[in-house]
């Protein structure tokens, strides 16, 4: 069970959260052609390594936020508010696999 640092509430047990899929999937209904829209709907990166994903603190503040997690170790490298850019991890020295 993960210990997830909610950007609003601090570290809380995974029990309080709900996973909400990959982050930074841009919704552009006006410009996307059928192919691009299909990928928006159904294609995800599913990396072995660091993924940016969305969580919602359902049993806490109720906010959606983003999280960088290493899918190999399950270590959480950063959490940040929705709308903020994906943080750079260069300083942490974590290789992106």
Contact residues: another protein, CB under 8 A: 1-3, 13-14, 18, 20, 27, 29-30, 32, 34, 37-38, 41, 54, 56, 58, 62-64, 73-76, 82-83
Q: Compose the 55-94 pattern: x for residues touching Zn ion by CB under 5 A, - for all others.
A: --x--xx---------------------------------
- Rounded CA-CA distance 16/67 in Å is 15
Comparing CA positions, the residue from 43, 46, 80, 45 lying closest to residue 65 is: 80
Comparing CA positions, the residue from 66, 71, 86 lying closest to residue 21 is: 66
Query: Where along the sequence are the contacts to Zn ion (CB under 5 A)?
Result: 6, 8-9, 57, 60-61
């Amino acid at each position: 069970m993960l210990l997830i640092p909610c950007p609003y509430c601090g570290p809380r047990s995974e029990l309080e959260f709900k996973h909400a899929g990959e982050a930074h999937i841009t919704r552009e209904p006006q410009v996307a052609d059928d192919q691009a829209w299909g990928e928006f709907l159904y294609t995800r990166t599913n990396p072995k390594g660091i993924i940016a994903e969305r969580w919602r603190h359902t049993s806490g503040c109720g906010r959606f936020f983003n999280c960088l997690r290493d899918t190999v170790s399950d270590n959480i490298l950063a959490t940040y508010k929705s709308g903020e850019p994906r943080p750079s991890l260069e300083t942490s020295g974590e290789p992106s696999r």
